[in-house]
Amino acid sequence: MALDYKASGVDVEAGYQSVELMKDYVKSTLRPEVLGGLGGFSGAFSLARIKEMKDPVLLSGTDGVGTKQKIAFLMDRHDTVGIDCVAMCVNDVACAGGEPLFFLDYIACGRNYPEKIATLVKGVAEGCRQADSALLGGETAEHPGLMPDEEYDLAGFSVGVVEREDMITGENIRPGDMLIGIASSGVHSNGFSLVRKVFDVNEENLRTFYPELGATLGEILLTPTKIYVHTMKSIRKAGATVKGCSHVTGGGFYENIPRMLPNETVAKIEKGSYPIPPIFSLIQKTGGIDEHVMYNTFNMGIGLCLAIDPADRDRVISAVEAAGEKAYVIGEVIAAKDADHIDEGGNIKEGEHKGVELI
């Protein structure tokens, strides 16, 4: 019998079927700037509107879903991780003040099951709709022998634009500025290697109902990452200035919040200033995890942290709530010399982090 590509593990026909199944999902995301349709070798996006901007700056963000996908495999549920993938990229663009314009995805799989791939893209399309971003194209690659048949890896990237004068850079943050935390929907898409270790996850315990969660463990863990594009637009429309913005992802508070801060400043955050979702308490209790590790791994209930002038407090909180999200005053920016965990010589107390002080 003559060999062909299918015999080697790559089903070209399944690829064609996947594309047919996902076409309507992709179409639902298209913006007026998109030129042409699905199936070309590249996606085309008109720059006519961008040309009208005074000093446009392109922004980009790329990421994947990581080992959260393992939960999707065990639950055999594939309609939410696409939202996560989009969120991880477009939130980074929004953090710089940008408007996400278009998104491209990349799916590597052991075997192309058309319905499963189409369900993945359905989630990507939903994330794009939430971000007002066009799903401009993508790629599905079968990797027989490299990945198990039932598994896949989803990643993508976003391209956005912002007027240079409207970029959020953090350079104007000063001691006395207020920190606003915008609530997360839960674990989002980071820290899942630790989560899986804590619960020794399998299909049975993922389907276990936890009274403190009000749902099964799997349902809570697969809750999609919040997309904050509309929230940031709402703040801008309210006339408030966001001086700095941190997307709280892998590395939690300690890694991400200092990324927006100028040198010689510290984020002083009150741990009791907002409600921590029950999933984090369950993770900490079940795994016997130190509090520092929790804040150094997870978002702990805060998806975005904003630095603003205190005079903008009410406008920002009202704008966040108008976008359907919850906002809390969680702390303030202080001079590093005034931080309790840094001594006069600039040395950091053991177990603390230079850029964040939790009280």
pLDDT at 59: 97
Fold assignment, 7-166: 60s Ribosomal Protein L30; Chain: A; (3.30.1330)
- Which residue in 99, 229, 244, 237 sits closest to 163, CA to CA? 99
The band of 237, judged by pLDDT with boundaries at 50, 70 and 90, is very high
Q: pLDDT tens digits for 263-288?
A: 889 999 999 999 999 999 999 999 99
The answer to whether domain 7-166 and domain 178-358 are alike in fold is: no
Mean pLDDT to the nearest integer, 72-92: 97
The band of 256, judged by pLDDT with boundaries at 50, 70 and 90, is very high
Q: Does residue 115 surpass a pLDDT of 60?
A: yes
What type of residue sits at position 259? Answer: R
pLDDT at 26: 81
Between 319 and 28, name the one with better pLDDT. Answer: 319
pLDDT at 128: 98
Residue 285: which residues within 8 A CB-CB, separation 6 or more?
Answer: none
**Under 8 Å between Cβ of 91 and 160:** no
pLDDT at 72: 97
Q: Does residue 39 surpass a pLDDT of 80?
A: no
- Name the superfamily (CATH) of residues 178-358: PurM-like C-terminal domain (3.90.650.10)
Q: pLDDT tens digits for 209-228?
A: 999 999 999 999 999 999 99
Q: Does residue 4 surpass a pLDDT of 70?
A: no
- Which residue in 80, 102, 108 sits closest to 89, CA to CA? 102
The band of 339, judged by pLDDT with boundaries at 50, 70 and 90, is confident
Mean pLDDT to the nearest integer, 300-327: 98
Mean pLDDT to the nearest integer, 327-342: 88
pLDDT at 5: 52
The band of 7, judged by pLDDT with boundaries at 50, 70 and 90, is low
pTM: 0.92
Domain extent listing, the chain: 7-166, 178-358
Between 13 and 71, name the one with better pLDDT. Answer: 71
Mean pLDDT to the nearest integer, 10-22: 67
pLDDT at 250: 92
Average pLDDT, the chain: 91
Q: Does residue 319 surpass a pLDDT of 90?
A: yes
Between 34 and 339, name the one with better pLDDT. Answer: 34
